[in-house]
Amino acid sequence: MVNASSEFRSGEEISYDLRSPGRWVVSHLLRYPWLPALAALFSLANNIGYSGLQVLVGKGFDVLAKPGWAVAQLAAVALLMAGAAVLNGTAGIGRNLSFELLAQRIERDSRAELYSSLLGKSQTFHSSARVGDIMARATNDVHFLNLMFSPGLSLIMDSCLTAVVPLVMVALIDPRLLLVPCVFIVFLVLTVWEYNRRLNPATDEQRGKFGELNASLADALEGIETVKANLGEEREIKRFVEGAGALRDLYIRIAKMQGKYWPLLVFAVCWGLGFLHALFLWRSGGITLGQVVSYMLLYNGLRFATFISIFSFNLFQMGLSSAGRVLETINAKSDLDENPSGRSARVEGRVEFRDVSFSFTPAALGAAPKGAETAYCGDDPSREGSPVLKCVSFSVEPGQTVAIVGRTGSGKTSLARLVNRIFDVGSGAVLVDGVDVRDWSLESLRSQVASIEQDVFLFSRSIAENIGFGVEGAARGAIVEAAKAAQAHDFIMGFDKGYDTEVGERGVTLSGGQKQRIAIARAFLVDPRILILDDSTSAIDSRTEDEIQKAMRLASEGRTTFLITHRLSQIRWADRILLLEGGRLADSGSHSELLARCEDYRRLFARV
């Protein structure tokens, strides 16, 4: 069972049970059923070897207790003990390897599933999610799934068998010896159940608090320039220390629960009672002194199960809490679906908006199915999420260049992001070549629409990889030609490593103008049918802008271009201009037409 709504799915995606953290973990486990089965067999053999060794110690004691004992008898017992020890050791190695392999595979699979899910989330999800918390889930929480299995589940299985196998051996010695161990086992099970019941909410809160602390740290580091510029170091330190203190308090709270864990004390008392019971049976002639020794050694095996339970169940509970956080992210609703069965064809470039309204609310961000939207074009402030766009209608013919202008906050960027379905309309429809964009295959649509934003994002990779990001396996020659068209080739060759130069985190080693030219080169290489330029030359000097505009005009030939800009030099060569005011389409036409009839446009032109 997978999340039905996603913008992207890996070709190797596997279905997992997403109904609860426990079911999800089990569905991952069932991908490799032979590993837990093998681990269980090794663990059983390990405990049989261990318990057999304790029984043989008692038998050796009986041999030595007999007058005139034979060396051959003792040698036979010693050989059997050596065999039991070898079985115990080799089976332990096999158990540990099986669990470790299982744990590593589950960590790998769950991290790949989470990463694939994150890539498939809509922009709405990523706009509201805190990067630091997501990183904590993708790294720390996923790693706790590993620890839940190895050593967590490994120790739980081993401790259970360490209790069961010795009890079977005790029963073979004399069933009456089971009295005290069975009473203790009942007490241990009830105590562990109560311990886990109290531990569960604490571990959930602990994992959540860790995510919040990580998110706070990520915010401060990402905005370090703003923090320093506004002398905010003390405030951020105080905020972090308060978060770290809250996390520390949760660790102390859990430590107090562990401190009140009584089974070890009860074990010591019951061990003494068991010894008295065994001596009583020996005095009555029911068992030999060697069997008393074997019984006490077997009973001592329960010490491991008692001691390790507090650690192993804590790891297991932490793993389940982490699984819940990872699953919460995977199950988070994605507003858009990739619609793989939708239209896949070459885009001609005709774009039409029909009574489009849009707002940043769940209902308007794609949650409502097509045809079920409720149109609203008013300005009622009592309505949740006042529309960013209100009943916008226009059409653009293939190959036209359309400039979108308006005051800051008028909805220009939001309008452009509806074309390639970064967001979905709240009401109305956006059509490409006469087909609603929601009926297009998202992969087909976005592969033919390129967008260059004002805030350019570059990956911490080489310049060539950044330019070729949109075309898998792009040839170096094609990358160079795209860079030349974007007027980026000369400055790239000025670096020592040329196109192999690493640009650093978010392109920190490049200027704003250089980053924008690389982004433009990336768009040229994709060769889109629809091109969206969102103030993409804002950080470029006038001389470079003139050169890029020539390349843009050449690149825009034969493709539909949306141009969001405040630069008059770009506005004037557009075939059509859309003027937005307060989310509405106030007017449209050529530059000369709007200048002649539209007062709002003239005021905007005067500012430009």
Count other C-beta atoms under 10 Å from residue 187's C-beta.
15
pLDDT at 171 over 90: yes
Q: Locate all alpha helices (DSSP H) within 148-232, ordered by sequence.
A: 154-173, 179-222, 224-229
User: Under 8 Å CB-to-CB from 310, ≥6 apart: which residues?
Assistant: 195, 258, 261
Q: Which DSSP letter does residue 231 get? A: T
List, in sequence order, every residue forming a beta bridge with 352; answer none if it has no partner.
Answer: 395, 431
pLDDT tier at 373, thresholds 50, 70, 90:
very low
Tokens of 116: 């694939």
- For residue 380, the model assigns a pLDDT of 45
pLDDT per residue over 212-260, tens digit each? 888 788 777 777 777 777 777 888 888 888 888 888 988 888 888 877 7
Across the range 268-291, mean pLDDT stands at 90
- Of 118, 138, 136, give the one whose Cα is nearest residue 334: 118
Write down the domain spans for the chain: 21-331, 351-376+383-607
Across the range 184-196, mean pLDDT stands at 83
List, in sequence order, every residue forming a beta bridge with 294; answer none if it has no partner.
Answer: none
Query: 48 and 164 in contact (C-beta within 8 Å)?
Result: no
Give the C-alpha separation, 495 to 497, whole Å.
Answer: 6
Query: 489 and 517 in contact (C-beta within 8 Å)?
Result: no
- For residue 537, the model assigns a pLDDT of 63
Considering the chain, what percentage of its residues have pLDDT values greater than 90?
33
Between 37-46, 272-281, 299-308, the lowest mean confidence (pLDDT) is in 299-308
The pTM assigned to this predicted structure is 0.70
Burial environment of residue 380 by CB neighbours within 10 A (0 to 12, 13 to 18, 19 or more):
exposed
φ and ψ of 452, to 5 deg: -115, 115
Tokens of 509: 């080693």
Q: To the nearest whole number, what is the mean pLDDT of the chain?
A: 83
What stretch of H or E contains 300? helix 289-331
What is the DSSP pairing of strand 427-432 with strand 530-534? unpaired
- For residue 169, the model assigns a pLDDT of 93
Count of alpha carbons within 13 angstroms of residue 232, beta-carbon side: 14
pLDDT per residue over 433-458, tens digit each? 999 999 998 888 888 888 887 777 88
Determine if the peptide bond prior to 381 is cis (ω within 30°).
no
Across the range 350-364, mean pLDDT stands at 80
- For residue 535, the model assigns a pLDDT of 74
Across the range 423-427, mean pLDDT stands at 87
pLDDT per residue over 564-587, tens digit each? 887 777 787 788 999 999 899 999
User: Under 8 Å CB-to-CB from 445, ≥6 apart: which residues?
Assistant: 347, 420, 421, 432, 437
pLDDT tier at 118, thresholds 50, 70, 90:
confident
- For residue 517, the model assigns a pLDDT of 83
Looking at per-residue pLDDT, the higher value among 552 and 283 belongs to 283
pLDDT tier at 372, thresholds 50, 70, 90:
very low
Compute the C-alpha angle 528/530/531, nearest 5°. Answer: 85
List, in sequence order, every residue forming a beta bridge with 564; answer none if it has no partner.
Answer: 404, 534
Between 53-62, 110-119, 508-517, 538-547, the lowest mean confidence (pLDDT) is in 538-547
pLDDT at 267 over 80: yes
Q: Where are the beta strands (DSSP E) in 308-400?
A: 351-358, 389-396
- For residue 8, the model assigns a pLDDT of 54
pLDDT tier at 464, thresholds 50, 70, 90:
very high
pLDDT tier at 542, thresholds 50, 70, 90:
low
Give the C-alpha separation, 402 to 532, whole Å.
Answer: 10
CATH class of segment(s) 351-376+383-607: alpha beta
Considering the chain, what percentage of its residues have pLDDT values greater than 70?
88
Distances (CA, A) of 46 to 96, 159, 178, 228, 596: 11, 11, 22, 59, 91
Looking at per-residue pLDDT, the higher value among 82 and 6 belongs to 82
- For residue 547, the model assigns a pLDDT of 63
pLDDT at 340 over 90: no
Which numeric CATH code is attached to 21-331?
A: 1.20.1560.10
